[in-house]
Each structure stands twice: as structure tokens, then as C-alpha cells.
Structure 1
Amino acid sequence: MTSVTLNIPVVETERLILRGHRMEDLDAMVEFFAGDRNTYVGGKMDRSDCWRAMLRGMGHWAMRGYGLWHIEEKATGKAAGWAGILHHIDWPEAELAYALFEGFEGKGFAIEAATAARDYAAHNFDIDAPASLIAPANNRSLALAKRMGATYEKDAVVLGTACQVWRHPSSLIQAGTS
């Protein structure tokens, strides 16, 4: 049997670990995509669809050299969501994307993970000041982008879906390393 090794960096914050996908994350993804919190990140998916989504995520790391990390809560070891950089073939640019699983919201995990992903991308992937493509009705994501210092740039249509482009501030300028 041939195996492929991907070098997905591990990023740690005070309370979280951002890491590559693992088989044991599948059940948490299935639960997330079976519920109602998935409206703005692809809609409902069954177990097979979630499996394919995980494989696409791994392929993103292999093809682009960056992608989404699974968010793991350090205190419990539980999968809490994902955050990272996506740049699908038909998207206009790299996007900072994030989502939390049910039960992990309201603890500051989203801003902690998204900020860590944004900063890591600036310093290691040469992706500074990324955009977030946000559905106009996704109030939680809009609020998070604003808390992170992102500013509204324009309305857009990506893959036939209306969204707003929110531009995140430069992590390099904030760190004084530009």
C-alpha cells in the first residue's frame, strides 16, 4: 500500500490546536452538516459528502500548500470547527474561512482560530490581508470579520452565489514586519 504524507503545519493558540484532518473528525463533521448551522458553508451533507469534503480539504493542502485546519479544543481534545485559507479554482482570490461546530460558539474560539490562521498565512504562505467571502445574511460571520478589523470592500457573486467581500487587515503591518 502506498501512502502520501502531507506536511500540514500545526498552529497552537492558548486554547486551541489548528491541525490537519483526522479520521476521527468525520463524526463531528457529519453532525455539523446534518444540523442547521451549515447554511452558509455548503448546506446539508450526508456522511459520504462529508468524507469527500475532508478529502477535498486534504487535496487543497497538497495542491496549494495551504488549506483549512481542523480546530481542536486543547482542554477536551474535541473537534470544534475549522479555519484557514481556501482558494478554489473558480474563486477570485484566497479566502480566510472559518466555522465552529455547535457547542463551541460564544467562547471566543472563532476569533482565536481565525486570527491564528490569518497571521500564519501572512508569515508562512505569503497571503497577507486576505478576503472573507460572506453571505449578506450570515450575521455571525459578518460580526467576526468586523471584530477582526476587516472592512467591507464590495458585493460579489462567487459560483452563482451573492456574497460580500470583506478585507482583513495586514498581519505583517500589525506585527511590524512589512
Structure 2
Amino acid sequence: MGRAPDLMTDRLRLRMPRLEDFEHRAAFYASPRAAHEDGPVNRAMAWRIWASEVGQWPLLGYGPFSVEDRKTAAYLGEVGIYNPVGFPEPELGWFVTPEAEGKGYAAEAALAVMRWARARFGWDHIINIIAPANTRSIALARRLGGVHSNRPGLDEGDVVILHDLRALA
């Protein structure tokens, strides 16, 4: 367990989060973009959320990967597996910086994480738990091959998307 491995795609490096990555999550949680994540929240609460997510690595053997551009090393966002207390099962989630939106980075990184989860843990599936108003994330989950599921989410009305990891090459 312990640390995230480095995962490489054509354009991206997925790596263990570092302290300086928190500034991007703090900005996200302070903005209206966090509305689908029970935000906005203050910096102290953003720290608690982010630190608990990163802390999954030594405790569970998975967690968030920081995503960066392979050519420039620019931070682009975070994609990973989240499973804090209260989640019904491990969830694939993503966040990208405003500058990285609409460029396919979240999809590219999510596919890398799904392949890694299948190879590392032998999981047959993984879910997304998405607020119904978060139409962009729902569309991305469906583009990644996910299908709507009746599995439980966190809140009444959550959209749960199921991904069959066995179907990945």
C-alpha cells in the first residue's frame, strides 16, 4: 500500500498528490464549481476533505491521483478512487482545473485509473456517484462506457453509473 504508482498515458502523468496540489482543490471548493460536491466550503473544510482523500493511499491502497501534463508538468486536476466512510463502495471520481476543462483529460485519466484498478485489484466494476444536476459528469461517465445503475448512492436521487472493468482492454 502506501503511495500511488505513476500511471502514464499519451498526454498525462498520474502521480501521488503533493502538498502544493491542495491549492487547486482549495480554489475549487471555494468556487461555485463545488456546488455538486456540497460546496462551496471554506479552506479548513477543503483541507479536511482533500487530506482524507489523499490519506486513503496508505490505508486502502488506492485514492486520488494528481494529473499533470507530461510535456509541461502543469497540474490539470485529480482523478482517482474514493471510498470514505459512508460510501456504499469504491467510486471513480474526477476534478479538473478550469483551464483543463473540455480537453479530454478527465476521460483519459479515468480510463487509466479504471485499467489500473482492474489490473491491481481484479475488480469487475467501479461506480460513479453523481449529483443529478451535474450533467457534464454524467455525460463523461456515459462516454467512458458506464451505464445507469440502481445501486445505492449517497443521497436520494444520486445518479449511479456502473462501469464494467472487464470490458477494458
Please give the TM-score of this superposition, normalised by the length of structure 2: 0.90
Rg larger in 1 or in 2? 1
User: Residue deviations 1:121-154, cap 9 Å, x none?
Assistant: 1111233320111111111101101101100012
Richer in helix (by share): 2
1:126 pairs with one of 112, 116, 122:
122
Structure 1 counterpart SS, 2:14: strand
> Which residues of structure 1 form unaligned runs of 5+?
none
CA shift, 1:157, in A, is 4.6
Count how many residue pairs are aligned between Structure 1 and Structure 2. 169
Pairing of 1:4-153 with structure 2 (within 5 A): 6-153=2-149
Structure 1 length-normalised TM: 0.86
Q: Does 1:168 align with 2:163?
A: yes
Q: Which amino acid aligns with 1:167?
A: L
Distance in 1, Cα, partners of 2:15 & 2:163: 22
Q: Which runs of 5+ in 2 are unaligned?
A: none
| Deviations, residues 63-91 of structure 1 (Å, cap 9, x unaligned) | 11111111112233222111111122221
Question: Offset of 1:46 from its aligned partner?
Answer: 2.8
Partner amino acid, structure 2, of 1:169: D
Q: Aligned in 2, Cα 1:166/1:149: closer, same or farther, shift over 3 Å?
A: same
Give the superposition deviation at 1:115. Answer: 0.8
CA contact (8 A) 1:155 1:164 kept: no
The ranges of structure 1 where at least 4 consecutive aligned residues each deviate by more than 6 angstroms after the TM superposition are: none
